[in-house]
Structure 1
Amino acid sequence: MNVVHIANLSYHHNTAGAGTTPALVNISLSLPKGSRTILVGANGAGKSTLLQILAGKRLTPAAAAVHLKGRDVFRDSPDGVTFLGTEWAMNPVVRGDIVVSHFLDSVGGYRHKARRDRLLDILDVDLDWHMHEISDGERRRVQLVMGLMSPWDVLLLDEVTVDLDVLVRSDLLAFLKEESDTRGATIVYATHIFDGLNNFPTHLAHMRFGSMVGDPVEWKSDPTAPLSASLYTLALQWLAEDREFRRELEKKGRKTRGARADDTPSDSEVFYKKYDYGH
């Protein structure tokens, strides 16, 4: 059974802007129950937009099929779907003077005590922390406890492990892998940190400029394989190919990135005369 099913999905951030570049272009993706898929792609490839759509946070065109557990994610939202993204830590509410234990109880932690307590140990969270006094990494740990303590069927992760130290991240990934193996939970995870991930995914999906580069590929790590066969090395290869692909498009007229050979003066006196807005 494919828990994740997307077909014919194209998406513009600014639907009113004629001629705007689409964020997603004709995406099709199917992932089986219990899979753990890593989304690989450069910044701006569309990974976050895709996860937000899967989470039902953005309305898609009626012609597109975006289903989780056989249901339309926006118009017939399925239960058991958890989305964790980076914007949570910027919310003023979670930066207020509130004790972590009170905060978790306010979102139902007392109803999932066993899972909550296990996650508190895995993520090394102090229940007496005050949310406004802790670091971004510690605040991220609280977010993960909050988001994972209620059992989920589909987990959508958007860069939420970036603030974690390597030990906590390793323990968290082991927990998520166990959830997938024992409960058949499905995970889609966008990240730019590939160290320590070799044994985690079952599938890899490559995104480039809002499109999928082929179908997801199955991933089976080989502990005896050389470094050249690692997930990190494969991701590096894909990203290098993406950059070369973009540079070929730039030669054909696509807007270029990087330094420009313009007429900006390097002499300070000439520069300040040019940008003297007082006259």
Structure 2
Amino acid sequence: MSNPSNPRPDISVKQLTYSHTPDAPPSLRNISIHLPPGSRTILCGANGAGKSTLLQILAGKRLVTAEGADVRIKGKDVFRDSPPGVTFLGTEWALNSAVRSDIEVSHFLDSVGAVNGYNTERRDHLLDILDVDLSWRMHQISDGERRRVQLCMGLMAAWDVLLLDEVTVDLDVLVRDDLLTFLKKDSIARGATILCKNSPPDATHIFDGLGNFPTYIAHMRFGEFVTEPIPWPLTSSSSVPAETAATLPYAAPSSLYRVALQWLTEDREYRRELEKQGKKTRGARNNALVPSDSETFYKKYDYSH
């Protein structure tokens, strides 16, 4: 997908293939996308589709060495000429021991702001939206509250490109809705670009309230785009595969959940076809040895009977 009226997209990926290790099969295969400034794109797809890997590469967190691959943000190579104004917020932040230390939230935010710089009015607005208590201590708060602090920290400085890796999942419905409203207004006002991932652990929870947020949606499966970023809401002329188009509801912002559910259903059916060929096997295996070695071990030392 490209925008002929703007010769330089904010996010540009060409011929990207990536493997986590040299001997592993590719996690991403021949990815090419072009997202214009001010766009808000949601990546849909089942777990393992490659969404997080793509976001991490765009953030410069994974080095791509494949010949011919070109990954740029704001026209700059993300590895060799890192562009300013790019913010990545991922789920691994909450696992960092530093954010679970005995430090007051106000001191934590001040220390980050001193390094990155921020607008105090913007910071205070985010504190209200995310309902953050500056007197919280990082080691005493819940995962959801810690996520709010992360978002406030990451969004205090104005960004040009925002990469979100499922960081709204821990938020309650009201805070998530307020945050998405803020991000949409911010994107429109400043022409800033958002690319975010959503996955299916609880599709209703994740996609509820997102219908009016994106300008584009895309579908990834096993490291490839089944549907490259297309304008949202969908219309009868949207560029989706023929077998998908016949089942999708059109031109209804509230139907994003149904579109995502349809795509995930197709992903599962596709994988089941692969399973018939002996590939991508998940779930119970009919020919598995029962009991397993571990079951035999624990049964041997089970004194409850």
Q: Which residue of 1 aligns with 2:15?
A: 8
Q: Which residue of 2 aligns with 1:129?
A: 136
1:229-250 Cα shifts (integer Å, max 9, x gaps): 6000000000100111111112
1:264 aligns with 2:268: no
1:186-229 Cα shifts (integer Å, max 9, x gaps): 0001013111000000000110000011321100289xx89896
> With structure 2 as the length reference, what TM-score do the two structures score?
0.83
Q: Percent identity?
A: 66
Quick one: structure 1 residues 184 and 226, their matched pair in 2 at CA, closer, same or farther if it must change by over 3 Å? closer
One-letter identity of the residue aligned with 1:264? V
The secondary structure found in structure 1 opposite 2:209 is coil
Question: What pairs with 1:236-251 in structure 2 (closer than 5 Å)?
Answer: 236-251=261-276
1:182 aligns with 2:189: yes
Q: Residue 229 of structure 2 is aligned with which of 200, 206, 216?
A: 216
The secondary structure found in structure 2 opposite 1:204 is strand
One-letter identity of the residue aligned with 2:215? T
| Aligned length, in residue pairs | 268
The answer for unaligned runs of 5 or more in structure 1 is none
8 Å contact kept, 1:199–1:221? no
Q: Which moved more, 1:67-76 or 1:228-237?
A: 228-237
1:241-268 Cα shifts (integer Å, max 9, x gaps): 01111111121231411101223049xx
Q: Which residue of 2 aligns with 1:102?
A: 107
The separation in 1 between residues aligned to 2:109 and 2:297, in whole angstroms, is 58
8 Å contact kept, 2:233–2:253? no
Q: Which moved more, 1:207-216 or 1:249-258?
A: 249-258
1:118-157 Cα shifts (integer Å, max 9, x gaps): 0000000000000000000000000000000000000000
The separation in 2 between residues aligned to 1:171 and 1:50, in whole angstroms, is 27
Q: Which residue of 2 aligns with 1:83?
A: 88
> In angstroms, what is the RMSD of aligned CA positions?
2.1
The separation in 1 between residues aligned to 2:289 and 2:113, in whole angstroms, is 60
The separation in 2 between residues aligned to 1:63 and 1:76, in whole angstroms, is 17
Q: Which residue of 2 aligns with 1:145?
A: 152
> With structure 1 as the length reference, what TM-score do the two structures score?
0.91
One-letter identity of the residue aligned with 1:239? L
8 Å contact kept, 1:38–1:201? yes
Q: Which residue of 2 aligns with 1:25?
A: 29
Question: What pairs with 1:155-170 in structure 2 (closer than 5 Å)?
Answer: 155-170=162-177
Q: Which moved more, 1:114-123 or 1:60-69?
A: 60-69
1:93 aligns with 2:98: yes
The secondary structure found in structure 2 opposite 1:250 is helix
Question: What pairs with 1:21-60 in structure 2 (closer than 5 Å)?
Answer: 21-60=25-64
Quick one: structure 1 residues 73 and 264, their matched pair in 2 at CA, closer, same or farther if it must change by over 3 Å? same
8 Å contact kept, 2:234–2:251? no
Q: Which residue of 2 aligns with 1:235?
A: 260
The separation in 2 between residues aligned to 1:138 and 1:93, in whole angstroms, is 15
The answer for unaligned runs of 5 or more in structure 2 is 1-5, 200-205, 236-249
The separation in 2 between residues aligned to 1:5 and 1:273, in whole angstroms, is 53
Structure 1 position 272, deviation (Å): 3.3
The separation in 2 between residues aligned to 1:255 and 1:114, in whole angstroms, is 50
Quick one: structure 1 residues 227 and 7, their matched pair in 2 at CA, closer, same or farther if it must change by over 3 Å? closer
The separation in 1 between residues aligned to 2:289 and 2:219, in whole angstroms, is 39
8 Å contact kept, 1:131–1:139? yes
Structure 1 position 273, deviation (Å): 7.0
8 Å contact kept, 1:198–1:221? no
